[in-house]
């Protein structure tokens, strides 16, 4: 079974721009969670989607948003990029049990200049 895939793997954007990242979960998994990973703050939860509905949200500003499609693929969008948004963005999928048995993708490395 194929793992979680994320595209693109690397991205360079300019401050003020917006960006969209994509995540395809493991086949059959209906829950997708997004995390931001930085050296200073570690792994921080952004939001979780299940059956196209956002079920939980972390403490991030409204510039961070996401959505999930009927095939469980998910996208996250960051508008008005700031330098501090430079990070590794990870998505994780699970069968449907919220926090249980989450499997991560390789991440998208976003650099904001």
Partner 1 sequence: GENVEQHPSTLSVQEGDSAVIKCTYSDSASNYFPWYKQELGKGPQLIIDIRSNVGEKKDQRIAVTLNKTAKHFSLHITETQPEDSAVYFCAASTQGGAQKLVFGQGTRLTINP
Sheet strands (E) in the chain: 5-7, 10-13, 19-24, 31-38, 42-50, 53-57, 64-68, 74-78, 87-94, 103-104, 108-112
The contact mask relative to partner 1 for 31-70 (x = CB under 8 A, - = no) is: --x--------xxxx--x-x----xx-x------------
Query: Degrees (nearest 5) of the Cα angle 9, 25, 13?
Result: 25
Say how many C-beta atoms besides its own lie within 10 A of residue 106's C-beta: 14
Q: How many residues at the interface with partner 1, by CB under 8 A?
A: 23
Nearest CB to partner 1, comparing residues 75 and 88: 88
| Residue 2 interacts with partner 1 (CB under 8 A): yes or no | no
Minimum CB separation of residue 96 from partner 1 in Å reads: 11
3-class DSSP state of 65: strand
| Residue 102 interacts with partner 1 (CB under 8 A): yes or no | yes
Q: How far apart are CA 9 and CA 21, in angstroms?
A: 9
Minimum CB separation of residue 64 from partner 1 in Å reads: 15
Minimum CB separation of residue 15 from partner 1 in Å reads: 26
Q: Which residues bind partner 1 (CB under 8 A)?
A: 4, 33, 42-45, 48, 50, 55-56, 58, 90, 92, 98-107
């Amino acid at each position: 079974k194929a793992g979680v895939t994320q595209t693109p793997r690397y991205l360079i954007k300019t401050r003020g721009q917006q960006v969209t990242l994509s995540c395809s979960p493991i086949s059959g998994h209906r829950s997708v969670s997004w995390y931001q990973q930085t050296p200073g703050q570690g792994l921080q939860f952004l939001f979780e989607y299940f059956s196209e509905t956002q079920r939980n949200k972390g403490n991030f500003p409204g510039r961070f948003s996401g959505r999930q499609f009927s095939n469980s693929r998910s996208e996250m969008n960051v508008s008005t990029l700031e330098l501090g948004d430079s990070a590794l963005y990870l998505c994780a999928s699970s069968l449907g049990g919220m926090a249980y048995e989450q499997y991560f993708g390789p991440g998208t490395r976003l650099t904001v200049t």
